[in-house]
Amino acid sequence: MGIFEWIRLIAGSALLACGLFIFFTEIFGIFHFRYVLNRMHAAAMGDTLGIGSCLLGLIIFSGVNFTSLKLLLIIIFLWFASPVSSHMLSRLEVATNENLEAHCAIYPDLETLEAEFRETDAQGGSDSSDEEKGGAV
Amino acid sequence: MIYHYIYIGTLIILAAMLFACLIRAVRGPRIADRLVAVNMMGTMVMVIISVLALMLNEGYLVDVCLIYAMISFLAVVILSKVYIGVYEERLHKTQKPEDNGSDEGGVSNGNF
């Protein structure tokens, strides 16, 4: 094999292994977190970055032909589709959970949230990291 | 030859991860957990189909993968819409005698 063949092999394998590692991180996160809105944070990573680097490694393996163009099309489609499906899933969770206040803080509108942030900034920013501020909706 | 071993190793690792994902889909306490796990399984199956397309040297499998991506996205969106609709209908039915107070602080603006 020539030098370019070796470069292609090493770069493609590295990208494929990177994608598999991101998938493993996703699995770890989905078993580690306790609530679905936290789990979604880990799960949305694999939809874009994991499959992106896996298919980029396969594109490098495949070379320049029509197959790699279609693989690139899959990556671009998932960049658009993954945020929409994550948004729909979080809307489902927020709409159907009755005791959402047990998991994260809920603010009825943005003005109260901003007022609370301004209060904590006026008191001093050191204690604001202790309390949880997960502004849902 | 070395490409063949790389593809086989990738497929084995992805199959093990797919099984772990299936465990989460079965055990998930809420519906959104299961849908997140199913979405992840769809992503991993897409990678498996693409690896198979290069391993078997069949270019048309990538078309299958593209259609799979579209159908997986559509399934997640429509299932979440349907579950929101089912939940609001059930809430509406139980709270019918008093009043239809199904607006939970502007969370669900009921366009289903």
Which of B47, B13, B40 has the alpha carbon at shortest distance from A29? B40
Residue type at B32 in one-letter notation: A
CB A11 within 8 A of CB A61: no
Is B61 in CB contact (< 8 Å) with chain A? Answer: no
Closest approach of chain A CAs to the CA of B18, in angstroms?
Answer: 9
User: Would you tell me which residues 39-58 of chain B have a C-beta closer than 8 angstroms to some C-beta of chain A?
Assistant: 39-40, 43-44, 46-47, 50-51, 53-54
- Nearest-CA residue of chain A relative to B54? A62
For the entire predicted model, the pTM comes to: 0.79
Complex-level ipTM beyond the 0.85 threshold? no
Confidence bin at B97 (pLDDT 50/70/90): low
The DSSP code for A46 is I
Q: What is the pLDDT of residues B15-41, one digit of tens each?
A: 999 999 999 899 878 888 899 999 999
Compute CA distances A126 → A103, A120, A134, whole Å: 23, 9, 18
Choose the closest CB to B54 out of A58, A88, A97.
Answer: A58
In contact, B24 and B51? CB cutoff 8 Å: no
In angstroms, the CA B78 to CA B94 distance is 24
Q: Is B14 on the interface with A (CB under 8 A)?
A: yes
The token duo for B66 is 């593209």
Nearest-CA distance from A116 to chain B in Å? 19
Residue A81: both structure tokens together: 């589709």
Domain ranges in chain A are: 3-99, 104-137
Give B27 to chain A, closest Cα distance, Å.
10
Amino acid at A45: M
Sign of CA dihedral A78, B62, A69, A8: positive
Measure CA A30 to chain center: 12
Query: How many other C-beta atoms are found inside a 10 Å radius of the C-beta of residue A50?
Result: 24
Cβ separation B24–A30 shorter than 8 A: yes
What band does A132 get if pLDDT is binned at 50, 70 and 90? very low
